[in-house]
Amino acid sequence: MNVVIIKYNAGNIMSVEFALRRIGIVPEITDDINKIIMADKVIFPGVGEASTTMLYLKNKGLDKVIKQLKQPVLGICLGLQLMCKYSEEGDTECLGIFEETIKKFRNKPDTNYKIPQMGWNSIHNLKNHIFDKSLENQYVYFVHSYYAEIGANTIATTNYIINFSSALQKDNFFATQFHPEKSGRIGEQILKNFIDL
């Protein structure tokens, strides 16, 4: 199994590598376009800021490559956000794989949630085989100030201030707002399900 993690100017790549090694996968971390295109599975993780990261992807030609991939692709956190059409963070036009828009959390009147959301929260309304039915209502780990709206590509929902898309899917593209690599046994199961696609 040839699994590639896309190397770019975003954090958290090593955590994803270690999580994959725990389930018996030794990935390659690379920004080599040919290696990305030829991989069996591609993971597009990230922690960072949308506008500077999109600029980096464009400068490397990775924006066009990611959109054209035909094998299963998994975006994580910032990866999910960049796969959407637009982000309020830095007023950024993103890859446009998913139709959903990325917005910043804003507290409602008389509420005082901490932003960013940092910690464990549950996933609901699971709609894709990347999630076992046993994962309904399970807790996974989030760190984010921005979220994807609920839309046609939503395959998991989480509530924090509002309901938002905690996972998206369209064709061969999958993405999670939460961090499966930091979500213990549940996250490992989701990574296994993706690898087994």
Catalytically active residues are 77, 179, 181
Measured in whole angstroms, the distance separating CA 123 from the mean position of its chain's CA atoms is 14
Distance between CA atoms of 106 and 90, rounded to whole angstroms?
16
Which of 47, 149, 139, 151 minimizes the C-alpha distance to 104?
149
Structure tokens at 101: 């828009």
Distance between CA atoms of 186 and 66, rounded to whole angstroms?
27
